[in-house]
Amino acid sequence: MNTVTVRGDLRAMVRAWRLRGERIAFVPTMGNLHAGHGDLVARARKLADRVVVSIFVNPMQFGPNEDFAQYPRTPTEDAALLAKLSADALYIPDATDIYPAGYEHSTFIDVPELSNILCGEFRPGHFRGVATVVVKLFNLVTPDLAVFGEKDFQQLTIIRRVVADLCLSVEIVGAPTMRERDGLAMSSRNRYLSATDRAAAPAIHKALQIARRRLESGNRDFANIEQEGGGALTAAGFSLDYFAVRDSRNLQAPSAATTEFVILTAARIGKARLIDNVCVAAS
C-alpha cells in the first residue's frame, strides 16, 4: 500500500491509474478504523480496480466545544489494517494540504435544508464542514465511486444531494451499518463509553427496532412513536438530542402518504454522543 501525505503525490498516483483505464473507489474516513470501516473498504475493493482511503480529522466539522482534540488518532494501526484489506493507497494529509494558508472558510458547501435539522440543530456548522471537506477530497482523489456508511444517514443524504446538485461525477454507494453483537452501531466514539455506559448503549438499537415494528404494523402516530423511543432512551440513562421519524428520501417530516421512512436518533451518555438509525419501507 502506498501512503501519500501531499496532494501532488496523490494526484500523480491517481493520474497513472487513470492512464491505464483503472476504476477508482474512495473511502473517506477520520481514522481510528474499526470493522465498520473495514466493511466499507471491502465493498470498495469489489467495485473498483483501485481503492484509496483517506484519514483526515477534519477541524471544520467540529464545533468549538466538541472533541476535535480528543478524537482518537491511531495512524499506525489504521495503516496496518488497510494494508491487510488490500487498499492501494492511504492519503493522510496534514491540515495545510486540505486547508492551505489563506483558506478562510469563506468558500464552502452548504445544504441548509438538510444540514440545519436533526444533528445539525445540535451541531451547528457540522454538515457544512463535512460537505466542504468531502467535495475537496473528491476533487483531490477524483474517484469513480465513493463508499459511505449508512450509520451517518444524514451525512449520506447530504452528500448524495451535493453530488446531484453540483453535477459531480462520482457514484455514491451506501453501506449498511455494522453492529456489535448486542446491536450497538460500530463507531470510533464508542471508545468514549465507560463500562456502565457501554452496558446501557444497546438501548438505542432496541428503541429503534420497537419504532420500526410500530411503523411496519401500520402505526402512523409519528409523535407517539417518537415519544416512546425518546422516553425509552431517557429511561436507560441517555440525555436525548432527538428521536425522529422522517421521510428517508428528504429527511422531512413524513405525511400519511409516506412509504419510505427512516427513524433517526442521537443521544448522549457520559462522554459519548451516539447516533443510529433504521430505514423502514412500509406499504
Report, as residue numbers or ranges, the catalytic residues: 37
C-beta closer to ligand PAF: residue 68 or 237: 68
C-beta closer to ligand PAF: residue 147 or 245: 147
What strands, in cross-sheet order, belong to the sheet with 50-55?
2-4, 89-91, 50-55, 24-29, 145-149, 171-175
Cell of 14: 491517481
By CB under 6 A, what part of segment 137-176 binds ligand PAF?
A: 152, 155
Residue 114 binds ligand PAF, judged by CB under 6 A: no
Query: Whole-angstrom Cα distance, residue 153 to residue 151?
Result: 5
The CB density around residue 5, as the number of other CB atoms within 10 Å, is: 12
Q: Which of 85, 98, 118, 134 binds ligand PAF (CB under 6 A)?
A: 134
Q: Which of 36, 39, 51, 58 binds ligand PAF (CB under 6 A)?
A: 58
How is 145-185 classified by DSSP, letter by letter? EEEEETTSHHHHHHHHHHHHHTT---EEEEEPPPB-TTSPB
Cell of 172: 455514491
Cell of 74: 491511531
Nearest approach, Cβ of 155 to ligand PAF (angstroms)?
A: 6
Nearest approach, Cβ of 229 to ligand PAF (angstroms)?
A: 24
Residue 118 binds ligand PAF, judged by CB under 6 A: no
C-beta closer to ligand PAF: residue 58 or 277: 58
Nearest approach, Cβ of 95 to ligand PAF (angstroms)?
A: 12
Residue partners of 49: CB distance under 8 A and separation at least 6: 17, 22, 23, 24
175 neighbors 43 (Cβ within 8 angstroms) = yes
Which span sits near ligand PAF by CB under 6 A: 76-84, 129-137, 226-234, 269-277? 129-137
Query: Whole-angstrom Cα distance, residue 249 to residue 164?
Result: 13
Q: Which of 28, 120, 230, 254 binds ligand PAF (CB under 6 A)?
A: 28
Nearest approach, Cβ of 189 to ligand PAF (angstroms)?
A: 11
Binding site for ligand PAF (CB under 6 A): 28-30, 58, 61, 130, 133-134, 152, 155
